[in-house]
Amino acid sequence: MIEQTTAAKLAIQLMDLTSLNLQDTPATITSLCESAATPFGSPAALCVYPEHVVWARHECKRLGLTTINIATVTNFPGGYEDVQRAAEETERAVYAGADEIDVVFPYKAFLAGNKELAKRLVTTCKQVTGQARLKVILETGVLEQPELIREASYLAIESGADFIKTSTGKVAINATLPAAREMLTAIAETGGKCGFKAAGGVRTAADAQGYLQLAEELLGRNYLSPETFRFGASGLLANLQSMLAGDQPANQSGTSY
């Protein structure tokens, strides 16, 4: 059992602090970088659109946030079926200096039965990432059915994903604990080396605690490391800091199983 204050402190270190809005500007990204300098430790990464990767890197360096990775998104948000386009976007993002690429799985093609295309997209993107980490966004709220979520997880892992991620945060249903259980089970059954990222809808320490406990149950406490576990969030950081500073209790009505 992970105590809630412990979960809050850990969640900050496991966070991909995110701004993926079409209105984002260099000033927006500067504010994001500044918010990453917390008294409770730094997040694992900042996740921004590809055009902001260079500026995010510059600002983190200026602020002395040298341990934070810069992540970006490709084939986003629709999970399109053009493999070459996804690969080229990924290659350009790596060239721009991204440490991590969150690529959207072609979930519509997968649902239509074109699993070979889904496999080829992940494999091709993995081939161009070099040393960058590849995180594959499954869009579990659209896949919906547990058996489909688990099958997509297996496919992504077997195709070279370094992480599998629940959601883009751009659809009606994003991260849920039942979907996370299917994904984490697939990870456990394939050797426990692939990472997991819950994104979209994780807003409070109580929410974070639920995912951390589930991962610990299925994969052990050592799995709760930035190398294998992440939260993708924008609003979560403020809630965690407020709780840890003693300004407010954690929301006890967080995500449930």
pLDDT tens across 169-211, in order? Answer: 999 999 999 999 999 999 999 999 999 999 999 999 999 999 9
Structure tokens at 104: 């959207």
> For residue 247, what pLDDT band results from cuts at 50, 70 and 90?
confident
pLDDT for residue 116? 98
Q: Give the CATH architecture of domain 4-244.
A: Alpha-Beta Barrel (3.20)
Query: What whole-number distance in Å separates Cα of residue 125 and Cα of residue 103?
Result: 8
Known active-site residue 126: no
pLDDT for residue 254? 40
pLDDT for residue 131? 96
Known active-site residue 197: yes
pLDDT for residue 1? 82
Give the gyration radius of the chain's Cα atoms: 17
Annotated catalytic residue, options 16, 102, 162, 207: 102
Query: What whole-number distance in Å separates Cα of residue 197 and Cα of residue 229?
Result: 6
Annotated catalytic residue, options 16, 135, 162, 165: 165
pLDDT for residue 253? 41
* Eight-state DSSP code of residue 105: P
Inter-residue contact 174 to 139 (CB < 8 Å)? no
Q: Is the pLDDT of residue 7 over 50?
A: yes
Mean pLDDT confidence for 210-232: 98
pLDDT tens across 54-92, in order? Answer: 999 999 999 999 999 999 999 999 999 999 999 999 999
Known active-site residue 165: yes
Mean pLDDT confidence for 247-253: 56
Annotated catalytic residue, options 16, 126, 135, 197: 197
pLDDT tens across 10-49, in order? Answer: 999 999 999 999 999 999 999 999 999 999 999 999 999 9
Q: What share of the chain in percent tops pLDDT 90?
A: 94
Structure tokens at 16: 């991909």
Inter-residue contact 33 to 24 (CB < 8 Å)? no
What value does the mean pLDDT of the chain take? Answer: 95
**pTM for this one?**
0.95
Q: Is the pLDDT of residue 246 over 60?
A: yes
